[in-house]
């Protein structure tokens, strides 16, 4: 025993009553949690004592004394909260690769392979995979490969048989108790420091630049993906059909004043669009792309007041607008459907937007159908908002990919092609006067000319003014400044002070996009 430093033997005196208690408890525990470590039973029996004490003392406490909620804990085939919300624990980097190889190698090979793994690695991983194994403190069994369940069994056997000479009879109770509480502490302590060890990140130093193609642009990505055959087509279609069957129910529930919220893995865009096509064709509705990066709550309100009511006036604040909408609906009862793809979208995540939406949902006749995808999306609502929304939750797992939803997202691996920037650039350009267009083109061309200089600071403002005058684009310093202000407001240019104190102007767009832009602007 002494040769194995990792194992410890703890000796404790066990009362008869404790034994019985222990057996009952562990039998219970086995039923509930298979992997629970043996020491937990001791803890839980203590806890039970505590509970009894509390119960006893709470006789005259308030009426809402706590009992375990059975109805809320009923399991309906999903994951329980304990599985989803866990504590952080350390993992070594190599485990991912291990798991991957594990998956790709057939099982029979795997076993032998696992044994032949470098011992240090295997040791480390086993320690971290199953922290409960290291904390088996009460048992002195020698075979460490026995699973924890079996462990428990043999524990029980040992305790049941008092005649068996066990080393656990000599120490006084108090020190045994103390020993117990210390026993499993080192591991948690170690875990804690492992977790919070600041230092370097314990991952490998590989970078993507090792790859032949470190990053793809959007287009290639889409091209590549379009060639990937869809998988599980039939089953996804079956799931989809199943969800389609709910459409009538949704309408029914919305007629009763509930609002519909869809959740579950997979894009729900198509489903909602389908619903709109098939059931809401004749009704007024507003489709909102919550994932759209420059969506504001004002857009939604304006969509209702301008496009649906054809109201021309302006409003002091969104709350006023909301009130106006409510009054309009009260005046003339009618049904209006607000479809929000991703009500948890980045632009709708703020309190204000959700407040307005919840107020809208209060208006008679407004029905909301929305989808959520982010795992923490429920946190955007507090109790009051939640009850305003009056949601009915529907799980529509579709497994379809989030093509549209992620298309705006600045993905880590996708090279920014600047397609968005280009289109907005052209959009702004179209609205400018010919002179302003000329000024901007002049700046763009100058920047392109100097694109090879790595330390290009931008175009000096004085030189630019001179060139503009020569090209008859501006007639005075004032008009020039006015034009620049306009560009700045649209974030088309950025000014920068150089070391020599002169102002320089720069278009914050990469040169490829700029070339593309100049080409296209000739066709404007």
Partner 1 sequence: MDTAGSVSKGCFAFKGKKKVAKLENYLSDDEFGQSVVKRHQVGQDMWTEIDTQIQILQEELNSRIFDDLLTFAADSCSTFTLDNLETSKTMVYREIPTAALVTGVNTPDHGVMFATLVSLLKERVSPLVAILKSKDCQNVKNTISKTLSQMVDNPQLLHDEDEKEEELTQKNLPLTLSTLAQWYKHKFKSKLSPKKRRSKGDDLKHKYPPAIVVLQDFESFLPHVIQDFITIASSYLHQLPIVFVFGIATTISAVHSLLPNAVSSLLCMEKFMAPPSSEYLTMLINQIVMTPEYPFKIGARVFQLLLDIFLYHDFSVLNFVKGFRFSLLDHYLNMPLSHLCCPLKEIHKKVKVMDAEEVETIRQLPSFMRFVEENPASNQPKLLLDEKFAKEAIVDLLEKMHTYHMTLFPVLQCLHKLVCKLPKHPLGKQQREVYSLVLESNIFETDAYKQSMELLRMLAKDELEEMLKQSIDVLMEKDRKAITYLPTDLSLFMDRFNTLDDLIGEEEDKGAEDESSLKVIPKQKNMYELRQTLKEMKKKKKKLSPYEKLRSEIIDYFDSVFRKYLICPKNLPLHEIFYYDAIGTVKKYLNASPRSATQLALSNPQYHLQSINCDEEENLSSAMPDICIVYKLHLECGMFINLYDWLQAFITVISSDAEFDPKNPDQVLQARFIRAVSELQFLGFIMPTKRKTDHVVRLTWGNC
Residue ranges in 185-204 that form contacts with partner 1 under rule CB under 8 A: 201-204
Q: Does 2 bind partner 1 (CB under 8 A)?
A: no
**What DSSP designation does 305 have?**
I
In DSSP terms, 341 is beta-bridged to 289
Least gap, CB of 311 to partner 1 (angstroms): 12
Interface positions, 38-67, toward partner 1 (CB under 8 A): 59, 63-64
For the CA atoms of 77, 81, 83, 86, what is the dihedral angle to 10 degrees? 170
Least gap, CB of 384 to partner 1 (angstroms): 5
Q: Does 300 bind partner 1 (CB under 8 A)?
A: yes
Six-digit token pair at 371? 């989808």
Give the per-residue contact string, 425-454, with partner 1 (x = CB under 8 A; - = no). Answer: --x---------------------------
Mode of pairing for the β-strands spanning 216-217 and 414-415: parallel
Least gap, CB of 350 to partner 1 (angstroms): 13
Q: Does 85 bind partner 1 (CB under 8 A)?
A: yes
Nearer to partner 1, 111 or 281 (CB): 281
| Residue whose structure tokens are 């889409």 | 222
List C-alpha distances in Å: 292 to 262, 289, 305, 306, 340.
18, 5, 20, 20, 11
Starting from the edge strand earliest in sequence, which strands make up the sheet with 494-497, in order?
459-460, 503-506, 494-497
Mode of pairing for the β-strands spanning 366-371 and 336-341: parallel
Q: Does 9 bind partner 1 (CB under 8 A)?
A: no
Six-digit token pair at 211? 């790859």
Q: Reduced to 3 states, what is the DSSP secondary structure of residue 155? A: helix
Nearer to partner 1, 1 or 71 (CB): 71
Stretch that binds partner 1, among 157-165, 422-430, 492-500, 512-520 (CB under 8 A): 422-430
C-alpha to C-alpha distance for 373 and 345, rounded to whole angstroms:
9
Q: Which of 6, 32, 88, 241 binds partner 1 (CB under 8 A)?
A: 88
Phi/psi for 260 (5° steps) reads -105, 130
Interface positions, 326-355, toward partner 1 (CB under 8 A): 333-335, 347
Whether residue 254 contacts residue 391, with contact meaning beta carbons closer than 8 Å, is answered with: no
Phi/psi for 513 (5° steps) reads -65, -40
**What b/e string do you get for 321-340 counting C-beta neighbours within 10 Å, with b at 16 or more?**
bbebbbebbeeeeebbbbbb
Six-digit token pair at 319? 């709350």
Q: Which of 173, 384, 463, 498 binds partner 1 (CB under 8 A)?
A: 384
Least gap, CB of 192 to partner 1 (angstroms): 14
Whether residue 399 contacts residue 231, with contact meaning beta carbons closer than 8 Å, is answered with: no
Six-digit token pair at 88? 């952080």
List C-alpha distances in Å: 199 to 161, 203, 390.
50, 12, 48
C-alpha to C-alpha distance for 127 and 120, rounded to whole angstroms:
11
Nearer to partner 1, 65 or 450 (CB): 65
Q: Does 256 bind partner 1 (CB under 8 A)?
A: yes
CB neighbourhood size of 469 (10 A): 14
Q: Which of 45, 132, 166, 220 binds partner 1 (CB under 8 A)?
A: 220
Nearer to partner 1, 401 or 476 (CB): 401
DSSP, residue by residue, 361-377: HHSTTEEEEEE--STTG
Give the per-residue contact string, 362-381, with partner 1 (x = CB under 8 A; - = no). Answer: ----------xxxxxxx---
Least gap, CB of 23 to partner 1 (angstroms): 22
| Burial class for 13, CB neighbours closer than 10 Å (0-12, 13-18, 19+) | middle
In DSSP terms, 369 is beta-bridged to 260, 339
| Residue whose structure tokens are 């089953």 | 235
Least gap, CB of 312 to partner 1 (angstroms): 15
Nearer to partner 1, 100 or 482 (CB): 100
Least gap, CB of 140 to partner 1 (angstroms): 30
Nearer to partner 1, 372 or 505 (CB): 372
Q: Does 405 bind partner 1 (CB under 8 A)?
A: yes
Q: Which of 236, 442, 448, 467 binds partner 1 (CB under 8 A)?
A: 236
Q: Does 213 bind partner 1 (CB under 8 A)?
A: yes
Least gap, CB of 383 to partner 1 (angstroms): 5
* CA 254 to mean position of chain CA atoms: 29
Least gap, CB of 138 to partner 1 (angstroms): 26
| Residue whose structure tokens are 């007041």 | 305
Interface positions, 12-41, toward partner 1 (CB under 8 A): none
Nearer to partner 1, 98 or 177 (CB): 98
Q: Does 241 bind partner 1 (CB under 8 A)?
A: no
Least gap, CB of 488 to partner 1 (angstroms): 21
The helix or strand, by DSSP H or E, that contains position 217, with its residue range, turns out to be strand 216-217
Least gap, CB of 486 to partner 1 (angstroms): 19
Interface positions, 94-133, toward partner 1 (CB under 8 A): 95-104
Interface positions, 257-276, toward partner 1 (CB under 8 A): 258, 263-266, 269, 273, 276
Q: Which of 1, 2, 115, 412 binds partner 1 (CB under 8 A)?
A: 412
Least gap, CB of 395 to partner 1 (angstroms): 5
Nearer to partner 1, 45 or 289 (CB): 289
């Amino acid at each position: 025993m002494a040769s194995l430093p990792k194992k410890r033997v703890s000796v404790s005196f066990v009362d008869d009553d404790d034994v019985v208690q222990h057996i009952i408890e562990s039998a219970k525990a086995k039923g509930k949690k298979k992997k629970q470590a043996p020491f937990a039973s001791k803890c839980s029996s203590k806890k039970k004592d505590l509970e009894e004490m509390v119960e006893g003392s709470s006789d005259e406490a308030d009426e809402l004394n706590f009992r375990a909620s059975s109805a809320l804990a009923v399991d309906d085939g999903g994951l329980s909260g304990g599985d989803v919300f866990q504590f952080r624990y350390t993992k070594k980097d190599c485990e991912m690769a291990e798991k991957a190889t594990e998956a790709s190698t057939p099982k029979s090979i795997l076993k032998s392979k696992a044994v032949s793994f470098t011992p240090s690695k295997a040791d480390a991983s086993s320690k971290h995979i199953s922290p409960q194994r290291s904390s088996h403190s009460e048992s002195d069994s020698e075979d460490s490969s026995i699973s924890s369940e079996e462990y428990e069994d043999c524990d029980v056997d040992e305790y049941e048989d008092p005649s068996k000479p066990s080393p656990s009879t000599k120490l006084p109770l108090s020190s045994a108790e103390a020993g117990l509480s210390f026993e499993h502490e080192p591991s948690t302590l170690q875990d804690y420091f492992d977790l919070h060890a600041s230092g370097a990140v314990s991952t490998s130093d590989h970078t993507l630049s090792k790859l032949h193609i470190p990053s793809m642009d959007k287009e290639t990505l889409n091209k590549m993906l379009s060639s990937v055959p869809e998988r599980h087509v039939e089953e996804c279609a079956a799931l989809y059909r199943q969800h389609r069957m709910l459409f009538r129910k949704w309408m029914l529930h919305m007629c009763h004043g509930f609002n519909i919220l869809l959740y579950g893995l997979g894009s729900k865009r198509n489903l909602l669009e389908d619903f709109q096509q098939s059931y809401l064709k004749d009704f007024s509705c507003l489709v909102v792309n919550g994932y759209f990066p420059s969506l504001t709550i004002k857009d939604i309100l304006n969509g209702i007041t301008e496009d649906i009511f054809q109201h021309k006036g302006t409003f002091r604040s969104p709350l006023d607008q909301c009130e106006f909408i409510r009054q309009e609906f009260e005046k003339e009862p009618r049904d209006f459907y607000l479809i929000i793809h991703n009500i948890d979208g980045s632009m709708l995540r703020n309190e204000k937007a959700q407040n307005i939406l919840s107020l809208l949902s209060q208006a008679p006749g407004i029905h909301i159908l929305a989808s959520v995808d982010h795992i923490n999306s429920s946190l955007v609502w507090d109790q009051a908002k939640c009850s305003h929304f009056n949601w009915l939750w529907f799980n529509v797992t579709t497994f379809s990919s989030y093509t549209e939803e992620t298309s705006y997202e600045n993905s880590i691996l996708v090279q920014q092609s600047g397609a968005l920037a280009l289109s907005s650039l052209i959009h702004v350009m179209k609205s400018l006067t010919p002179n302003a267009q000329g000024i901007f083109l002049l700046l763009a061309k100058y920047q392109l000319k100097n694109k090879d200089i790595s330390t290009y600071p931008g175009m000096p403002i004085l030189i630019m003014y001179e060139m503009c005058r020569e090209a008859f684009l501006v007639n005075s310093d004032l008009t020039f400044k006015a034009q620049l202000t306009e560009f700045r407001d649209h974030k088309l240019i950025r000014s920068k002070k150089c070391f020599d104190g002169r102002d320089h102007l720069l278009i914050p767009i990469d040169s490829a996009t700029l070339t593309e832009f100049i080409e296209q602007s000739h066709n404007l």
